[in-house]
């Protein structure tokens, strides 16, 4: 089984994929092509996706039973002791376009928190 998920990709690429896979939801393609066809489809997706994102999931003979590939995706596959996991990048610690650090949230700002802090009821 093979699943390809596209986001922000040209409509022509979606039409190309419908030749071999079934589009079960906008941008989500499902099918069982051979490994050679699957690799050819993935090469075409990577070539024509431009700035769009793509994710390929397919069956393999591994502990997990599947593997995945990404294109222009913020999350990247990482091998962790034989398991493939998606590595999410850390959130930005500065505001975009500046070098300022964000302010930490205020502590005990509510009246209920102040009552708990000082033991008042």
Q: Please, what are the domains in the chain? A: 2-87 (3.30.70.240)
Q: Hey, is 36 helix, strand or coil?
A: helix
Start-to-end Cα distance in the chain: 61
* CA proximity to 6, closest of 14, 60, 80, 78: 14
User: Which pLDDT band, with edges at 50, 70 and 90, does 92 fall under?
Assistant: low
Beta-strand (E) ranges in 40-114?
53-59, 66-71, 76-80, 83-87
Q: How far apart are CA 51 and CA 60, in angstroms?
A: 28
Does residue 16 have a pLDDT over 80? yes
Q: What is the mean pLDDT of the chain?
A: 86
Report pTM: 0.71
User: Which pLDDT band, with edges at 50, 70 and 90, does 77 fall under?
Assistant: confident
């Amino acid at each position: 089984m093979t699943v390809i998920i596209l986001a922000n990709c040209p409509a022509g690429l979606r039409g190309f994929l419908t030749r071999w896979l079934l589009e079960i939801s906008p941008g989500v393609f499902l099918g069982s092509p051979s490994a050679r066809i699957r690799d050819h489809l993935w090469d075409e997706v990577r070539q024509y996706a431009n700035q769009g994102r793509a994710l390929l999931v397919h069956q393999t003979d591994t502990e997990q039973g599947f593997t995945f590939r990404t294109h222009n995706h913020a999350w990247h596959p990482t091998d962790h002791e034989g398991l493939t996991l998606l590595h999410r990048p850390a959130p930005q610690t500065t505001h975009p376009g500046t070098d300022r650090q964000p302010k930490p949230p205020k502590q005990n700002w509510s009246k209920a928190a102040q009552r708990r802090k000082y033991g008042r009821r």
